[in-house]
C-alpha cells in the first residue's frame, strides 16, 4: 500500500467505506494518521470497525473539531446535484476536502526516489469512453515489454492499495470525472484525454462542469506530456490550451476522424491503419485491422492514445505493435467470446448508452444484435446512423416491446430474456455474421450490473455453441 504522508499524528475523516474508502483508511493508518470513518450503511461501518478503525458520525454537531481533512469516496456527490451534508459541514468548519486520488499524488514519491536512476512514472487516463481499454492496453504493452507496471484507479486496484513502485516502475491510472473533480493534487507524468460525450451531467451540473472535471487532470499540476483526442471541440480546446505553438511536442494530438498534419506530434488512424507523425515525418505505423482485441474505430482511437502514451515512455513502434497483437480486450467491452461455425460472438455489455452502442455496431458487419434493458434519457435516436449492418435485433428487458418499436427499419424480435435472445440468435446466425450484445441500455431492470449481464450472455453462448 501507499502510506499517506503529511497527516502524522492527526485526525482525518473518511466518508464512504467501500473499496476506496477502506483502502484510504488503511493507508492513513500506515502513515501514522488516525482515520475517523463513516458510512450511512451499517454493514460498511461494521466492516471498518472489525479492522480496528474508529467509527465517528460525521453528520453530528462538532464532528470536525480537530480534524485535518475530509476524504470523500468518489461515488458521493460533493456539489451537484446537491452538496452532501457531511461535505457541507466540512466546508463550514474550514476543513479541506479531498479524495484518495489527491492523497495518492501527494504521497507517492518517497525519499528513496532520490537514489533511483530511473524514477517511477504515472500515466493517468480520463475521458468519456474508452478509458478502461486504453488504460489496460497501456499496462499490457508495458508488461509485454518487460517493464514493471501496476494498473489502478477506476480499474484494477485502488490507488492507495498498490505497492510502492520501484525504480523504473510505471503506474497506469484510469480516472473518472468523479475522481478528477475533487482531487487536490493531480500530477501525472503523462495525462491522456480520450474523448468527450455527455455523461454524468447531473453530477457535474451540465456539460461544462463535466468537461471542467476532466480538464483538471491537465490543469492542476501540468503533466510532462499530454495525449489529447481532438475529434471533439473540447479536445481541440484542451490541446490548444496546453500547447505553446504548432511545434510543441509536449502535446500529442490523436484522431480517428481525419489525418493530422503539422510540425508537432500526431497519432491518427484511418481505414484501420495507425500512423505516427513527428515534425512532419512519419515515425511509425501499425495495421490494426487484424487486431482481434481492438475491433472498430472506437478501439482504434484507444489504440492511438495508448500508442502515444507508450511512445512517450520510450517504447519502439515494433514493440508496441507486437503487444497490441496479443491484447485480448477487456471483459464486456467488444470482447470476442468465441467463434463457432463461422460466426463470431461478441460481448459488449458495457455499451450501456446510445453512444457506446453505436460505436460497437459500427465495428462489425452483418450483425445479429442483442439489445435492450433499462432505457436511458434521450431515447434511441442517436443509433439510427449505426444500424446499417444490423441483420436482425433480438430485444431483451422488461420493456422490450417499447424498445423494439424505436428501431425503425430494423427487423426486431421481442425476446425479453437473455436466454431466449441467445437461443434465437444462435439458431439464425449464418457464417460471416456476428452476434453482438451491445444493449444501449442499463442493466438494472434484470441484472445487478452490466458485468452480470455480460456474464449471462457469455455463459449462454458457450453452452449453445457447444451443445
Residues of each annotated binding site: 127-133
E-state strands within 145-280: 149-153, 170-174, 190-193, 225-229, 251-255, 265-270, 273-278
- Gap between the Cα atoms of 48 and 38, Å rounded: 9
Radius of gyration of the chain (CA): 23
Is-contact 461 422, C-beta < 8 A? yes
Binding residues for ATP: 127-133
- Gap between the Cα atoms of 277 and 419, Å rounded: 48
Is-contact 182 98, C-beta < 8 A? yes
Q: What are 195's three cell numbers?
A: 474523448
User: Do β-strands 335-340 and 11-15 pair in parallel, antiparallel, or remain unpaired?
Assistant: unpaired
- Gap between the Cα atoms of 314 and 176, Å rounded: 26
Q: What are 244's three cell numbers?
A: 505553446
Q: What are 139's three cell numbers?
A: 499496462
**Nearest by Cα to 341 from 424, 430, 437, 419:** 430
- Gap between the Cα atoms of 49 and 55, Å rounded: 7
Backbone phi and psi for residue 362, each to the nearest 5 degrees, phi listed first:
-80, -10
Count the Cβ atoms, other than its own, within 10 Å of residue 118.
Answer: 10
Give the CA angle between residues 108, 239, 204 to the nearest 5°: 70
Residue 85's region, left for phi above 0, alpha for psi from -120 to 50, else beta, is alpha
Residue 5's SS3 state is: coil
- Gap between the Cα atoms of 248 and 34, Å rounded: 46
User: Do β-strands 273-278 and 281-287 pair in parallel, antiparallel, or remain unpaired?
Assistant: antiparallel
- Gap between the Cα atoms of 141 and 16, Å rounded: 34
Amino acid at each position: 500500500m501507499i502510506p499517506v504522508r503529511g497527516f502524522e499524528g492527526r485526525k482525518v475523516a473518511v466518508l464512504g467505506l467501500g473499496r476506496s474508502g477502506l483502502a484510504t483508511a488503511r493507508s492513513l493508518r500506515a502513515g501514522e494518521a488516525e482515520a475517523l470513518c463513516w458510512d450511512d450503511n451499517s454493514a460498511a461501518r461494521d466492516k471498518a470497525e472489525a479492522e480496528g478503525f474508529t467509527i465517528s458520525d460525521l453528520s453530528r454537531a462538532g464532528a470536525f473539531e480537530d480534524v485535518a481533512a475530509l476524504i470523500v469516496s468518489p461515488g458521493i456527490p460533493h456539489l451537484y446535484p446537491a452538496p452532501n451534508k457531511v461535505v457541507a459541514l466540512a466546508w463550514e468548519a474550514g476543513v479541506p476536502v479531498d479524495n484518495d486520488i489527491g492523497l495518492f499524488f501527494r504521497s507517492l514519491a518517497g525519499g528513496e526516489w532520490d537514489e533511483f536512476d530511473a524514477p517511477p512514472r504515472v500515466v493517468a487516463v480520463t475521458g468519456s469512453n474508452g478509458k478502461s481499454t486504453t488504460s489496460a492496453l497501456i499496462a499490457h504493452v508495458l508488461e509485454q515489454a518487460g517493464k514493471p507496471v501496476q494498473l489502478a484507479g477506476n480499474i484494477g486496484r485502488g490507488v492507495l492499495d498498490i505497492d510502492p513502485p520501484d525504480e523504473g516502475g510505471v503506474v497506469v491510472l484510469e480516472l473518472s470525472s468523479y475522481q478528477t473533480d475533487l482531487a487536490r493534487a493531480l500530477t501525472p507524468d503523462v495525462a491522456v484525454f480520450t474523448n468527450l460525450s455527455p455523461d454524468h451531467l447531473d453530477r457535474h451540473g451540465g456539460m461544462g462542469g463535466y468537461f471542467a472535471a476532466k480538464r483538471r487532470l491537465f490543469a492542476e499540476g501540468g503533466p510532462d506530456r499530454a495525449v489529447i483526442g481532438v475529434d471533439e471541440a473540447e479536445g481541440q480546446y484542451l490541446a490548444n490550451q496546453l500547447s505553446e505553438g504548432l511545434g510543441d511536442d509536449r502535446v500529442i494530438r490523436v484522431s480517428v476522424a481525419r489525418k493530422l498534419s503539422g510540425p508537432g506530434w500526431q497519432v491518427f488512424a484511418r481505414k484501420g491503419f495507425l500512423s505516427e507523425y513527428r515534425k512532419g515525418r512519419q515515425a511509425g505505423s501499425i495495421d490494426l485491422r487484424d487486431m482481434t482485441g481492438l475491433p472498430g474505430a472506437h478501439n482504434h482511437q484507444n489504440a492511438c492514445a495508448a500508442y502515444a502514451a507508450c511512445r512517450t515512455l520510450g517504447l519502439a513502434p515494433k514493440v508496441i505493435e507486437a503487444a497490441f497483437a496479443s491484447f485480448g480486450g477487456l471483459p464486456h467491452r467488444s470482447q470476442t467470446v468465441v467463434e463457432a461455425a463461422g460466426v463470431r460472438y461478441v460481448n459488449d455489455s458495457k455499451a450501456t448508452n446510445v453512444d457506446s452502442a453505436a460505436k460497437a455496431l459500427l465495428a462489425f458487419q452483418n450483425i445479429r444484435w442483442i439489445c435492450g434493458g433499462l432505457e436511458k434519457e434521450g431515447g434511441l435516436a442517436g443509433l439510427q446512423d449505426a444500424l446499417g449492418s444490423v441483420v436482425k435485433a433480438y430485444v431483451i428487458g422488461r420493456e422490450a416491446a417499447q424498445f423494439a418499436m424505436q428501431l425503425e427499419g430494423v427487423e426486431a424480435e421481442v425476446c425479453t430474456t437473455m436466454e431466449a435472445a441467445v437461443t434465437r440468435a444462435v439458431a439464425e446466425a449464418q457464417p460471416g455474421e456476428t452476434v453482438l450484445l451491445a444493449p444501449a441500455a442499463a442493466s438494472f431492470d434484470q441484472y445487478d450490473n452490466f458485468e452480470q449481464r455480460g456474464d449471462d450472455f457469455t455463459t449462454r453462448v458457450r453452452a449453445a455453441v457447444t451443445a
